[in-house]
Amino acid sequence: MRGMPAAMGRKRAVLVGINYPGRDDELKGCFNDVTRMRRCLIERFGFDEADIRVLADADPSTPAPTGANIRQELERLVREARPGDTLFFHYSGHGMQLPAETGQDDDTGYDECIVPCDGNLIKDQDFKELVAKVPDGCIFTIVSDSCHSGGLIDKAKEQIGNSTRQNKTEHPERVTLTRHPFGACAFLLRIVHGVFDSLGIHLPRLVQSGGTETNTKAGASTRAASIKSRSLPLSAFIKMLRETTGEDDVGVGTIRTTLFRHFGDDASPKIKKFVQVMASKLRQDGKLEGNEAGQVGTLDRALEQDQAHGDGVKEVYAGTTASAPPLPLNGVLISGCQTDQTSGDATTEEGVSYGLLSNAVQTILARKHDGTVTNRELVLKARELLSRQGVTTQQPGLYCSDEHASLPFIC
């Protein structure tokens, strides 16, 4: 069967935790998340320490979690994969959405992105193309404890969730305030929190009594935690880009061109293709010359290679139907939330910080120490656990083929 392991192979992982220290949008629990996951991979799943790569801004002994470094590690992970291997990527950090490029056929209407420490975005289409390169007989599992992470593998089938346009049409959300476990008033307050979060204003919140249980190294159990959103609003991201690039005129309409201009060949492949197309049109119209024309010209060879592989620029612009790359059938995504939701970065009264999805995963795995848990079971149990903790605005999702939904987590 396509994508299922052919034989026991090598187990390899890339773990990325970004706390963005010193910034207004600083998070607290991301490094803790990957530290716990690293220990779990070794002790529960039999990974060799040498086969786990960690990138974290809270640990100077690791490579910096820049866009180029993360992309390099993921590409190496896939390039060296063989049938029977287990590939795993855990990301804890900010997520964000960009409006999809003009005419682009995106199943959510946005580009879901993860936000490296330098702002060099990695987009959902990048993950799609990466997973499409995974050889048959090998499975690449991604856990993204970040905001707007539903659909992070573009075009992957949605098993659990309501992020894609198709699922929103077929299974519209129905909300009955009187049936909410904490009543209509509490539910409306959570909506207000969600609105402020989307604007980058983070109000303090307490999980209801009987709330967050955390399986920390010390074995502590807490009942209350303040929760900060792991969503990076466009305004905050533009501020990050201005600080990183030194360009004060960065705006919503120039994000992609700024990323290309500053990061060059290290920018997202989709960013480069978009800029290529726009520049080609300007050049044809006689509106691009000098240094700008020369800079874009350096990508001509890459463009020719893309076209030779049936992945031309028509896929990126104007909604035309060029030969599309293969669907990402050998990947499994467990998202922290839906595309229109935020994921929580929690800090307990005792000062213990973690991501809500990451903590739920660890809690469930600890309870299933005597057996395996399938990808579907893990996501459903995570949803149930977060709901019991009073977290109703964050619903984890599962994106993969039908057969992979019933396979054990990290098989």
pLDDT digits (tens, 9 = 90+) for 158-180: 999 987 655 554 443 332 222 33
Domain that holds residue 4: 1-268+327-411
Burial 264-284 (b: 16+ CB within 10 A, else e): eebbbbbbbbbbbbbbbeeee
Distance of alpha carbon 345 from alpha carbon 336, whole angstroms: 11
Torsion angle (degrees, nearest 10) of CA 116, 120, 123, 129? -100
CATH code for the domain of 187: 3.40.50.1460
DSSP string computed for 375-392: HHHHHHHHHHHHHHTT--
Catalytic residue check, 171: no
Question: Phi/psi of residue 288, each to 5°?
Answer: -130, 125
Q: Which SS3 state, helix, strand or coil, does residue 278 take?
A: helix
Q: Is residue 394 part of a domain?
A: yes
Q: Which tokens belong to 76?
A: 């190496």
Q: Is residue 288 part of a domain?
A: no
Q: Is residue 322 part of a domain?
A: no
Q: Is residue 375 part of a domain?
A: yes
Q: Which position among 94, 202, 262, 404 bears the catalytic label? A: 94
pTM: 0.79
Q: Which position among 30, 113, 138, 147 bears the catalytic label? A: 147
Determine the pLDDT at residue 50. Answer: 97
Q: Is residue 313 part of a domain?
A: no
Q: Is residue 309 part of a domain?
A: no
Helix or strand run (H / E) with residue 243: helix 234-245
pLDDT digits (tens, 9 = 90+) for 40-98: 999 999 999 999 999 999 999 999 999 999 999 999 999 999 999 999 999 999 999 98
Q: Is residue 310 part of a domain?
A: no
Determine the pLDDT at residue 220. Answer: 36
Number of domains in the chain: 1
Q: Which SS3 state, helix, strand or coil, does residue 270 take?
A: helix
- Res. 231: pLDDT tops 90: yes
Q: Is residue 317 part of a domain?
A: no
Catalytic residue check, 185: no
Q: Which tokens belong to 162?
A: 């309501």
* Beta carbons of 338 and 161 less than 8 angstroms apart: yes
Beta strands in 137-252 (DSSP E): 139-145, 158-160, 225-229
